[in-house]
Amino acid sequence: MATLSLKRKLAILSDAAKYDASCASSGSEKRNSVGGKGIGSTEGHGICHAYAPDGRCISLLKILLTNFCVYDCAYCINRVSSNTPRARFTVQEVVDLTLGFYRRNYIEGLFLSSGIIRSADYTMEEMVRVARTLREVHDFRGYIHLKVIPEASPRLVEQAALYADRVSINIELPRDESLAALAPEKDVVGIKKAMGAVRLGVDAGREKGRKAKPPPFAPAGQSTQMIVGADGASDGAILARADSLYGAYRLRRVYYSAFSPIPDSAARLPLARPPLIREHRLYQADWLMRFYGFERTEIIGETEDLDLAIDPKLAWALRNRGDFPVDVNTAERERLLRVPGLGVKAVGRILDVRRFKRLELADVKRLTRGVEKLKPFLVCADWSPGALTDRADLRERVEPQQLELF
């Protein structure tokens, strides 16, 4: 096999990493400064943006160690039967790239995933060596996110968590039977076992009252990714799986990744990608469960799909009009959080401001992005929706404002 230049490897292995959404990069049009025009480029290989636990946006070098893989997951471009160009970094190359980019201030960390070469243990060992070399040899203090191969031995999973800030173990698909059909080498029991081991380690690190502080163990927690639209799973089934994973393994994030049709894909896979708005609605529903106090069952039944035209909070409010309007000057935080269009920050600001004055509609307008969507659901010092909340055509009146968002 011809020797590939480092640049070519970087091009292949950063492109192969783009399918992993658990560190999502923002889409941008292609621009560069070739020919001396302008400064900067959006075509640079492998740099993506992620959010640190404290909310900071950080740039990460996002690459695979290799896109060779001995598994044959039907939905994956890197599967053994795929015709894609292949490349493989050495451990030292990943270390050097990370340090080189870091010193030039291009990145603040590394996101490293990999196809499986030889065996799960061999591959995981190589990934751990990258992180260990960065931490122990170079005293690298930047952010490291390692993708854990669930079939690797518990000792290696533990080591990954000791060197990384965050680890992620992909659940891949929302239903066990889909995983068995589309990724026959993967095993949902093994995936959950690995997640459970990481949870135990993270919990132990956070235990209060321990005399000796244990070494950091995935201090930014663990996350997972689910592919949406590769099987026939409903949005309700996807969110039920996410809800149970959050509960059982205390995940920091579940990432929903719309299935991308791949060349030479298996006939059982869909030919088209699901609409991106579906991914977006799933994230909105996910946030309602995590930050707005909604139970999954309030948002959606297990066999149902989310309404793509309106966000799930508005859909819930339209189904539960008896709970509205909510008085912005007296309602508790939990009730304010259920008002369509009021986010966590806006509710926090409302609670602050109303200690000093009675809020009018103009005040709410200043504290939120748009007040029109709120009006049917809110009472202010100078505003009451009257019969507006119960109008038969309420959905039609608020829906155009929803569509404008996308």
Chain residues binding ligand SF4 by CB under 6 A are 69, 71, 73, 76, 78-79, 115-116, 183
Minimum CB separation of residue 221 from ligand SF4 in Å reads 22
Minimum CB separation of residue 265 from ligand SF4 in Å reads 12
**CA-wise closest residue to 300 among 318, 284, 316, 323:** 316
User: Which residues 6+ apart lie within 8 Å of 109 measured at CB?
Assistant: 50, 58, 59, 60, 61, 142, 143, 144, 145, 165
Q: Which two tokens stand for residue 11?
A: 């091009």
Minimum CB separation of residue 37 from ligand SF4 in Å reads 38
Is the Cβ of residue 59 or residue 114 nearer to ligand SF4 in the bound state? Answer: 114
Is the Cβ of residue 88 or residue 313 nearer to ligand SF4 in the bound state? Answer: 88
Angle between helix axes 188-206 and 154-163 (nearest 10 degrees) is: 50
Is the Cβ of residue 183 or residue 230 nearer to ligand SF4 in the bound state? Answer: 183
Is the Cβ of residue 78 or residue 98 nearer to ligand SF4 in the bound state? Answer: 78
Spatial distance between the Cα atoms of 367 and 370, rounded to a whole number of angstroms: 9
Minimum CB separation of residue 343 from ligand SF4 in Å reads 35
Is the Cβ of residue 115 or residue 341 nearer to ligand SF4 in the bound state? Answer: 115
Widest CA span of the chain, in angstroms?
75
Is the Cβ of residue 147 or residue 313 nearer to ligand SF4 in the bound state? Answer: 147
Is the Cβ of residue 115 or residue 201 nearer to ligand SF4 in the bound state? Answer: 115
Minimum CB separation of residue 64 from ligand SF4 in Å reads 8
Minimum CB separation of residue 98 from ligand SF4 in Å reads 21
Minimum CB separation of residue 154 from ligand SF4 in Å reads 19
